[in-house]
Amino acid sequence: MAHLVWSADLDTGIAEIDRQHQRIAQYINTLYNLRSSPDRQALSKVIADTAEYTESHFAFEESLLEQAGYTFLGPHKKVHELFIRRIVSIQERFEAGEDVAEELHKLLSRWLFSHIRTEDHAYASIVKKYLNRVDAAQRQGAADAETRHIDYEKLFPELEHRMQKKGWLARLFGR
Ligand SMILES: [Fe+2]
Ligand SMILES: [Fe+2]
């Protein structure tokens, strides 16, 4: 498998999630370009960046699923967790001097699209409905300040609070 190429069937229809998934695919493609590079420092950086960005995306996604009241958040989190553990153990082998770039690239590129097509697509309609409600309440504006207040408070501060802890927002949104 060479470069990952985004196709429309991967879209969840949730703009921010789709943007983040495409960004992860870009990281994986950069890893592919550098996989046999003798420059271990550059390789180390792209491995760390890919792992960190993926972890930030997982945190964002889990916060959103939590806010949307998604029933299968628990199992979804578990899948993310196990995947991160696999990446970290490969990353540790890299730092110990092993040549793991090819193996890591294979794992990431296989995993990402299959996870998006199955587990991530499974939550799409629930989250879209939730975001539509938030959006509708937001657009109601001054006509119903209380609804707007509740939805804002529920969604954004909790997301931000959880994500600011590790600088996740900065990573995802360049803040
Ligand atoms: Fe996911
Ligand atoms: Fe995802």
CATH class of 15-172: mainly alpha
Give the per-residue pLDDT at 89. Answer: 95
The alpha helices in 96-144, defined as continuous H runs, are 101-115, 121-140
pTM of the entire structure? Answer: 0.85
Give the per-residue pLDDT at 169. Answer: 66
Give the per-residue pLDDT at 144. Answer: 56
Q: Which of 27, 34, 15 is nearest to 56 (CA)?
A: 27
Instruction: Sketch the domain layout of the chain as residue ranges.
Output: 15-172
Residues of the chain with pLDDT under 70: 1, 141-169, 173-175
Query: What is the number of residues in the chain?
Result: 175
Q: How far is the CA of 155 from the centre of ligand 2 (A)?
A: 18
Q: Which ligand is nearest to the CA of 20?
A: 2
Q: Which ligand is nearest to the CA of 77?
A: 1
Give the per-residue pLDDT at 79. Answer: 97
Q: How far is the CA of 75 from the centre of ligand 1 (A)?
A: 10
Q: How far is the CA of 101 from the centre of ligand 2 (A)?
A: 22
Give the per-residue pLDDT at 149. Answer: 39
Give the per-residue pLDDT at 164. Answer: 60
Q: How far is the CA of 97 from the centre of ligand 1 (A)?
A: 30
Provide the 10 A C-beta neighbour count for residue 121: 15
